[in-house]
Amino acid sequence: MNRKGFTLVEIMVIVAIIALLAAIIVPNFLNSRLASNTETAKVNILSLSKACETYSTVNNGVYPDSVAKLATFISVAKSYCANETGGITSVQGYNYKCSLGAGGYTLEASPVKAGITGSAAYTVTTGGALKSS
């Protein structure tokens, strides 16, 4: 017989190999994404805190009481603190909440879905101390 093509057994072996590779690669990809979101949230919240502290240093101990004032020191503040009255903004799997006032600030980042989009929640208050939960 002079037939061209693959047998059913050969095709099944190839499908099994592809399924095995997918079973290994997909969970690793999802874990990498989770870790990336978590570290990005940590860096973002610390950057916003440093901008608040810098604003305070330049303005004789008065902290920014609006996103517009904070944005003069960190341009992405509008992306993370869209609502300065305590509203929540979602960016890259995390919810950000910024409470700004002349006497101090509280910045919070929490995963949209814990364990899926992020693994830890972070809070920074006046003074810049990072707390995770």
**12 has a pLDDT exceeding 60:** yes
Tell me the pTM: 0.79
Quick check: 120 and 132 in contact, CB under 8 A? Answer: yes
Task: Give the model's confidence band at 83: pLDDT under 50 very low, under 70 low, under 90 confident, else very high.
Answer: low
How many of the other CB atoms lie within 10 Å of CB of 67? 17
For position 1, what pLDDT does the model report? 62
* Rounded mean pLDDT, 119-132: 94
Q: What is the mean pLDDT of the chain?
A: 90
Residue 86 has pLDDT above 80, yes or no: no
Domain ranges of the chain: 8-132
